[in-house]
Structure 1
Amino acid sequence: MRKTTIVLAVLVAGFAFLTVWTWKKLNFSPISETSLRLSLDNVVESLDPAKAYSDDSLLVSAQVLEPLYQYHYLKRPYEIQPLVADGLPQILNKGKLLQIKIKKGIFYHPHAAFSKPRELEAKDFVIQFKRMALDDLKSPGRGLFNGLIEGFEGYNKLVGGDWTRIESTPLAGIEVKDKYTLVINLTKTEPNMIYYLALNFLSPVPWELVQHSKNNLDHVLIGTGPYHFKGYNGQYFDLERFRGYREDFYPTSGDRYANVQNLLNSSKEKIPFIDNVRFFITTAENDTWQKFFNHEIDLLTVPKTFIPRLYDTNGELNPEIKKNGVELKHFPILANRWLAFNMKDPLVGKNEFLRRAIAYSINYEDYIQVISQNTNLRANSILVPGIAGYLPAKDFRFKHDPALAKEYLKMAGFTEKNMPTIVYSTRGNQGINILEADFIKSQLEKVGLKVEVQVLPFSDFLRKGRAGELMFFTDNWLFDYPDAENILQLLVSTNFPGVNKSAYNNPEIDDLYQRLKETMNPDQKDKIVHQMEEIIFQDLPWIPMMYESSFVLQYPEIKNFRKSSIIRNYVKYLKIEK
């Protein structure tokens, strides 16, 4: 008996030794959960894919929802690749018919709406197209498909605005060939349709979920993505790795930057890597900064007002940052910033000379210094570098000329005795928004204008802007897809009320925009873009200000990060290695 016990003990000890040796020899890491903490700048009003359009709401949603296509994480110029689609669309009928296969074996996250595991089907995309067509949802993406998809524009009237009828009422341009095949019928060719199919708007929504929520998905987030939504407690959103996620792998190729920055070290490894993700809502920039240096946030897009803190007087990285062992990276992004007028406003909208006076009142070099510490570039176009049609040698249309500004004020009909009051509304209530407002106010007051600053939270800015209730404001645009059309849509009359916050209405621009959407020839597209830009500069609903970029602070254990304004589903590629 004793001999048996001794032998058993020796075997157990030997097995334990062998296990430890093998663990170390093969360099296995201990099995432990990993967590990533990120920050949001603003309160998220809706998570409904038909409605969500702020950068914060899209960032949360992109980890959970999956449209048909996505962008290659490590390639620039941007390259479209299948996500839940099983290959690129089969294009028929001279470009007017798209047939798209859906991958089999993709399942939604568990939800009370499903009585059993629910597989993704082609019909779920049909439901989402129909939802976007409903008036009540006021989807910002709706304008992309009006007049493009057969029956889309009249679908709300067809169902009488009643969401309960969409499941049984066909939409002529969207149908399913079989369980895994989606068919899209277009009224005309659309070169950018592949980009549209990569937008969050077209993430699939099962009918069972629509019924269960009575078509109110503002606080519902169910998808097929690598993370499932655990909840929101008023301070943060919690996501957890979806254990039923299909096999997917980190990219095996990339551009020069990806190779130089060692972003291909995780090639062929199964994603996602991180178990838990928490998005903190920290609207106060000081709080965000402190959270990062308290190691409560792992990645921080540096607020513009904090850029001076990055470097010392010699231009070296600030010792405070060095001692914390964090890394600083600078990324170009496809983002433009401009001053905008409400063209329906009886004061600024109806007086071109007043708008020109304002355009010549601004010291653009000082603006770049104040807002970005000279880390951003002054805008010479409505387009941004990296978008086809952008002309780097294009002259700056407006310059700082106070004397000319005063002449335009006289031409506008104003003197010192009857100088009007301009109401400038901020694009949020963070430090950078107040700093920007103070700068614009001081510039306009130097030529004699009176300025009243209206400080708005970002949610109020969006609501009022889309309703046409602002007079004069700063706006910006993070491109959703790499094409000039994406920003020019903001000046199309049919997009007001909505994303056309300037309420700009010029039939010639509307006509050129439609031609732009239909044109396949790159040279012809560039010609149309340049023609549109000249008209816009003449009418002056916008004053281009600067092209934005981002500084990001990250702790060294965060691997594989590459910032992009277009690619938001990046969390699945991140890895934590301590």
Structure 2
Amino acid sequence: MQSVTLAAFRRLTALLWGLSLLGLGLGLVGCDNSPYPPGETGKSILYLALGDDPKTLDPSVAYDVASGEVVNLIYPAYLEYDHLKRNPLQLDLDLGATMPVYQTVPVQEMVDGKRVTRMGQLWTFHIRHDLRFQDDPCFPGGKGRPITAADFVFSFKRIADPGVNCPIVNYLDDKVVGMRDFENYQMQREKRGLPPDYSYPLPGLQLDPHDPYTFRILLDQPYPQLRYLMAMSFTTPIPHEAVEKYGKNFARHPVGCGTFMLKEYVPKDRIVLVVNPNRHPEYYPSEGDPGDRAAGLLADAGKQLPLVKEIRFSIIKEPLTAWNLFQQGYLDLSGVSQINFQQALSSPGQLSPEMRARGIRLFKTTGADVSYFIFNMDDPVYGGYTRRAKLLRHAIALAMNQQEFIDLLSVGLGKPAQFLIPPGLFGYDPNYKNPYQQHNLELAKKLLAEAGYPGGVDPKTGQRLVLYYDNSGVDAEGRLQTALVIKQIQKLGIEVVPRSWRFPIFQSRVDQGQFQFIYFGWVADYPDPENFLLLLYGPNRRPGPNAAGYNNPAYNALFTKMRAMEDGPERAEIIQQMRNIAVEDGPMIYGAHSESYGLVQPWLHNVKPNPIALDSPKYYAVDAGERLRLQREWNRPNLWPLVGFVVFLTVGSLPAVQVVRQRSRRHVRVRPPEES
């Protein structure tokens, strides 16, 4: 019995020793915590993160950032934004062979049964002759065919198809001759359960009968901003074969002609893009802004794109998970938010010692956007154009401290807005100070009294003013913002009543004008002041982008004139006049232009974020060998706990061995049976 116990103990001890030594051996060989297949990170692959699955990969529909970051690499446009040049942003050729030109022409249209002649524009586009779609089963033999001007026209007809639901159709359907008629025709077919018929005439889209690489667009009004739409994926050439073959699945089966093409899409996990062998030749720019060469941004000048062979997007909803992967070296880029601000930065604009020691670089970007608070200009108390109403709105604007919002909600990142136009766009004046955006509570109280509400009270009724603040801040950050709005405005003596809604309900109330005061924001579709000034253009009233319902004839007339002009002193003067009119009327309280920090791994090069373009990854270069070396260094296993366990097992087992041995050597005395 005792010998069996000793033998079992010895076997157990040997097993524990064996497992410990095995673990130690594996640790010495090295443990791999990489989320990717072994050795993959040593290849020419770019590792990026998406916060969610793209809503769609259909270029005629994709409008969210997650979709755009993928779509813009698969579907290029006639023009593209220069990777390096800023202030102003510059358009270059991509699929186009020549820069688009337009001429002023008379256009005849029927309006209310009468033929009307107005001055429009005829734009001419010549595309490259070497363009081909990627290989795909939708083509005969699976080989991508050459691209012609007809593929661009097909794309524009998809924009006008109500069944596609293109989000930028309103930029075109009131300008392209015949597009509204085309829309209505397709809508009637849809109601009858019939498929769309793109053979229906659309006179504003014209193919050249003598040149398959030329098309023209006829507008019934001047619209220089068309050039910017030709740099958006909405106007990319689309093969009708793919739309016909894949139907609704076209949104998950992109067929483009871009630098990359889709290799794999696993929802909620990853999207993998690989180099498209049918892509047209593209080269890294040879010129940039002052300082770009010193920053190493021209080291790859003249090299053929792309500079990586594959892009892997990991779909990571939790920001903390993405941050941990970046720290381990398994993501090449990271943003900076409240989640990682203290770890990444020692102070605003300064990397933490740990990040500097790792060779990580910091960049800062100012967004082409603006946030703002809106008064409902139809409201009987806070709306209208009387002196009383203007003073009331100005008083509230002066009581609000936009810098406090930036500090509390955006960790100090953001530039207080003085008007709609953000930095970097024509018409932005860095020296302008909006007289009603300079926080001044005493002046605010004075203007409130002049409006007839001393201390926030209406002396005629003795009732305190009430301001209903509708918002979509149903999460913790939104509630914090709402609390700050209440705190600042109630210092005037005005009672603020918040009404929080889920976003679809909030948007519906805004569209129907069921609000007094709301918070909103706008991100540029293209870098032209028209794209921001349209927010106060009367005909754009809700459910259009003019949510305030602001309608000043003088502003409207200047907007119509400004929209048709090229940048220059005269246009700048008109923009200034529009700004002065809007500021005095006070339909908005301007919030901030966003700013953000980003982190770049030491092995990633050529990163210069663009506030508009989403195709920057095709310019990025990766030193895969350096990445692999640093990943191993940053994820080196900590063997001390394992070594300590082995030592503990060795020392701790000695007394137990002695006890067992002593017990095994004992003699058991057997008492003889007693005699009866």
Check whether the contact 2:162–2:187 (CA below 8 A) recurs between aligned residues: no
| Aligned positions of 1:33-44 closer than 5 A | 33-41=43-51, 44=54
Query: 1:208-219 counterparts in 2 under 5 A?
Result: 208-214=241-247, 218-219=251-252
* Residue 139 (structure 1) aligned with residue 185 (structure 2): no
Q: How far, CA to CA, are the matches of 1:465 and 1:109 in structure 2?
A: 43
Match of 1:424 in 2: 471
Residue 380 and residue 72 in structure 1: after superposition, are their counterparts in 2 closer, same or farther (change >3 A)? same
Partner of 1:393: 431
Does residue 450 (structure 1) correspond to residue 496 (structure 2)? The answer is: yes
1:383 aligns with 2:421: yes
CA drift of 1:505 comes to 4.3
> 1:462 and 1:273, CA in 2 relative to 1: closer, same or farther beyond 3 A?
farther
Q: Is the 8 A contact 1:113 1:209 kept in 2?
A: yes
Residue aligning to 2:361: 327
What SS does structure 1 have at the residue aligned with 2:277? coil
- Tell me: CA distance 1:231–1:511, structure 2 relative to 1, closer, same or farther (3 Å): farther
- Aligned partner of 1:105 among 111, 122, 130: 130
The separation in 1 between residues aligned to 2:488 and 2:226, in whole angstroms, is: 43
| CA shift digits 1:350-390 (9 cap, x unpaired) | 77666445323312332332244444322222112222222
Partner of 2:335: 301
1:291 to partner: Cα distance:
3.4
Give 1:477's match in structure 2, choosing from 507, 522, 534: 522
Q: CA deviation at 1:307?
A: 4.1
Distance 1:541 1:63, change over 3 A: farther
- The reply to whether residue 551 of structure 1 matches residue 597 of structure 2 is yes
Deviation at 1:194, TM superposition (A): 1.8
Q: Is the 8 A contact 2:285 2:302 kept in 1?
A: yes
Q: Give, in whole Å, the separation in 1 of the partners of 2:452 and 2:245.
A: 58
Counterpart residue identity of residue 191, structure 1: P
| Aligned position for 2:561 | 515
**In the TM superposition, what is the alpha-carbon distance from 1:70 to its structure 2 partner?**
0.5
Q: For residues 5-84 of structure 1, what are the structure 2 equivalents within 5 Å? A: 33-41=43-51, 44-76=54-86, 77-84=88-95
The alignment status of 1:122 with 2:138, answered yes or no, reads: no
Specify the code of the residue in structure 1 equivalent to 2:50. Answer: L
Summarize deviations over 1:203-245 as a string: whole Å, max 9, x none. 2222223333446754443321111123241244332222332
8 Å Cα contact 2:466-2:495 kept in structure 1: yes
How far, CA to CA, are the matches of 2:516 and 2:134 in structure 1?
A: 44
Aligned to 1:15: none
Residue identity in the other structure for 1:100: F
User: 1:173 aligned to 2:204?
Assistant: yes
- Cα deviation, 1:488-540, whole Å, max 9, x if unaligned, reads 22333554556616152416244332222222462222222223223332443
The answer on 1:86 being equivalent to 2:129 is: no
Asked whether the 8 Å contact 2:376–2:516 carries over to 1, the reply is yes
Is 2:261 the counterpart of 1:221? no
Change (3 A) 1:574 1:521: closer
| Aligned counterpart, 1:19 | none
Q: Aligned to 1:269, what secondary structure does the other structure show?
A: coil
388-397 or 68-77, larger mean C-alpha shift? 388-397
Distance 1:395-1:281 versus aligned 2 partners, 3 A rule: same
**Which of 186, 195, 209 in structure 1 is aligned with 2:228?**
195
Q: Number of aligned residue pairs: give it.
A: 546
In structure 1, the partner of 2:618 is: 572
- Assess, with a 3 A threshold, how the Cα gap between structure 1 residues 293 and 435 changes in structure 2: closer, same or farther: farther
- Which stretch of the first structure deviates more once superposed, 488-497 or 55-64? 488-497
**Shift, 1:422, TM fit:** 1.9
SS at match of 1:279: strand
Contact 2:139/2:241 (8 A) holds in 1: yes
- The alpha carbon displacement at 1:345 in A equals 6.7
Give the C-alpha shift of residue 68 in structure 1. Answer: 0.5
Q: How many angstroms does 1:561 deviate by?
A: 0.6
Partners of 2:513 and 2:134 in 1: CA distance: 39
Q: Distance in 2 between matches of 1:549 and 1:541?
A: 25
Letter in 2 for 1:101: H
Q: Is contact 2:182-2:200 (8 Å) kept? A: no
Runs (5+) with no aligned partner, structure 1: 1-29
**Counterpart residue type for residue 523 of structure 1:** P
The amino acid across from 1:410 in the alignment is Y
1:42 deviation in Å? 5.3
Q: Deviations over 1:54-87 (max 9, x none)?
A: 3333222211111110011122232211111112
Q: From the superposition, tell whether residues 247 and 432 of structure 1 become closer, same or farther in structure 2 (CA, over 3 Å).
A: farther
Equivalent pair of 2:550/2:587 in contact (CA under 8 Å) = no
Task: Output one character per residue of 1:404-461: Cα deviation in whole Å (capped at 9) or x when no partner.
Answer: 25646938876775634422224x95x765554443343234444334363757x887
Point out the more displaced range, 327-336 or 37-46: 37-46
Q: How does 1:257-268 map to 2 (within 5 A)?
A: 257-268=291-302
Query: SS at the partner of 1:312?
Result: strand
Against the structure 1 CA distance between its residues 161 and 466, is the aligned structure 2 distance closer, same or farther, given a 3 Å change threshold?
farther
Partners of 2:274 and 2:514 in 1: CA distance? 40
Q: Distance in 1 between matches of 2:189 and 2:329?
A: 49
C-alpha change, 1:200 and 1:503, in structure 2 (3 Å) is farther
Out of 413-422 and 329-338, give the one that drifted further. 413-422
Is the 1:67–1:202 contact (alpha carbons within 8 Å) kept by the matching residues of 2? Answer: yes
Structure 2 CA distance for partners of 1:234 and 1:436, relative to 1, 3 Å: same
Is 1:233 the counterpart of 2:271 in the alignment?
no
- Aligned residue for 2:534? 489
Which is further off, 38-47 or 545-554? Answer: 38-47
Tell me if structure 1 keeps the 8 A contact 2:54–2:67: yes
**CA contact under 8 A between 1:327 and 1:555: conserved in structure 2?**
yes
Contact 2:75–2:233 (CA<8 Å) still a contact in 1? yes
- Superposition RMSD on alpha carbons, in Å? 3.4
SS in 1 for 2:74: coil
Looking at CA atoms only, which structure, 1 or 2, has the larger radius of gyration? 2
In structure 1, the partner of 2:663 is none
- Tell whether the 8 Å contact from 1:46 to 1:217 is kept in structure 2 after alignment: no
Separation of aligned partners in 2, 1:287 and 1:37: 14
8 Å CA contact 2:55, 2:66 repeated in 1: no
- Partner letter of residue 83 of structure 1? D
Match of 2:406 in 1: 368
Say if 1:384 and 1:390, in contact at 8 Å, map to a contact too: yes
Identity across aligned pairs (percent)? 24
TM-score normalized with structure 2 length: 0.72
Letter of the structure 2 residue corresponding to residue 53 of structure 1: Y
Write out per-residue CA displacement over residues 464-508 of structure 1, whole angstroms, 9 at most, x where no aligned residue: 766767764443333333321121223335545566161524162
Residues 133 and 152, structure 1, Cα contact 8 Å, conserved in 2: yes
Judged with a 3 Å threshold, the aligned counterparts in structure 2 of structure 1 residues 445 and 60 are, in CA distance, closer, same or farther, namely farther
Partner of residue 440 from structure 1, selected from 485, 488, 494: 485
- Counterpart CA distance in 1 for 2:56 and 2:380 is 33
For normalisation by structure 1, the TM-score amounts to 0.83
